[in-house]
Chains A and B, each alone.
Chain A
Amino acid sequence: MKLPPYADLLGIAVEAGDGGPPVLMMPYSTDVMGRPGFLHGGALGGLLEVAAIAALRHALAIEDAGDSRIKPINVTIDFMRGGREKETRALGIVTRLGNRVANVEAHAWQDDRDRPIASARMNYLIVRG
């Protein structure tokens, strides 16, 4: 899956999936640092959005060859724990894929997938190709 230039700026890499939506990995660097020693909330939010869009593209590719366009309507991010100086992973989940709107969640974690550091809910408008 090809990611946009913004994902490259964050250093995001696609990890091998098992046929489901891809897990994305963002390494720690000063490029994503906020206050010293911690991830910037905006970079974390950016990772969650990229993971959500990747999950939606994955779902759309199964449904209609992937020639639809995706437009973000809104995003709500909850920050649960400070992100530390280590790799962060994120996975998006399409909770409902309608004809015009998709509801997507994304979760980010560092050491333990069961201890998320942030999660997000997004609504996307889908313009069918």
Chain B
Amino acid sequence: MTQPAFDPRIFMSFGKRAHAGRLGIEYHAHGADWAELALPYNPALIGDETSGVLASGPILSMMDMATSLGVWLKLGEFRPHATLDLRIDYLRPATPGKTVYGRGECYRITRAISFVRGTAHDGDPADPLAHVAGTFMFTEVQP
């Protein structure tokens, strides 16, 4: 019997009344070990009022979620985990008014830990605005 594939669209619909929904983060695309989410521009997310640039926190939230989805896609199922660490390099400010897209990929899973990386851009993937690397720890011990 084949396992039902993990569907990130259904998972993201659960978050509508939580932090993801408050930020307006939406499903955008996915593959075998990656997911892409979208963060539409919203004045409530501004971090610097003089420039109108988004705060870095919403991008951090989106990348945490996109890389999490990447883990469950590579795994083929949902397995509870907690973020152990997440590092973000802010390559350039997001352009005010533009939707930010975040793609998270899982490149290695062990019994306890998964390793992820990703990038964020605002229209042109060749011109990223952030780069992330992180690890998650599964919260239920595997047999």
Residues on A facing B (Cβ under 8 Å): 4-10, 30-36, 40-43, 45-47, 49-50, 53, 69, 71-79, 82
- Min Cβ gap A71→B in Å is 8
Residues on B facing A (Cβ under 8 Å): 15, 17-20, 22-23, 43-50, 54-58, 60-65, 80, 82-90, 93
Q: Which chain A residues border B89 with CB–CB below 8 Å?
A: 73-74
Q: A5-B43, A9-B22 are contacts. A78–B58 as well, Cβ < 8 Å?
A: no
Q: Is the CB of B87 within 8 A of A42?
A: no
- Min Cβ gap A8→B in Å is 7
Q: Which chain B residues border A47 with CB–CB below 8 Å?
A: 57
Q: A6-B45, A32-B19 are contacts. A74–B58 as well, Cβ < 8 Å?
A: no
- Min Cβ gap B114→A in Å is 14
- Min Cβ gap B42→A in Å is 9
Q: A5-B44, A77-B86, A79-B82 are contacts. A49–B56 as well, Cβ < 8 Å?
A: yes
Q: Which chain B residues border A74 with CB–CB below 8 Å?
A: 87-90
Q: A75-B88, A76-B86 are contacts. A33–B45 as well, Cβ < 8 Å?
A: no
Q: Is the CB of A6 within 8 A of B62?
A: no
Q: In the complex, what residue of chain B is closest to A125 when comparing beta carbons?
A: B90
Q: In the complex, what residue of chain B is closest to A40 when comparing beta carbons?
A: B19
Q: In the complex, what residue of chain B is closest to A82 when comparing beta carbons?
A: B82
Q: Is the CB of A73 within 8 A of B55?
A: no
Q: A9-B45, A34-B18, A40-B19 are contacts. A79–B57 as well, Cβ < 8 Å?
A: no
Q: Is the CB of A40 within 8 A of B57?
A: no
- Min Cβ gap B49→A in Å is 6
Q: Is the CB of B60 within 8 A of A75?
A: yes
Q: A5-B45, A34-B18, A41-B64 are contacts. A46–B55 as well, Cβ < 8 Å?
A: yes
Q: Which of A30, A35, A49 contacts B80 (CB 8 A)?
A: A35
- Min Cβ gap B61→A in Å is 2
Q: Which chain A residues border B43 with CB–CB below 8 Å?
A: 5
Q: A45-B64, A76-B87 are contacts. A6–B46 as well, Cβ < 8 Å?
A: yes
Known: A43-B57, A45-B64, A77-B86. 16 other contacts (CB 8 A): A5-B49, A6-B47, A7-B55, A8-B44, A9-B44, A31-B22, A32-B19, A41-B61, A49-B56, A50-B55, A72-B56, A75-B88, A75-B90, A76-B86, A79-B85, A79-B86
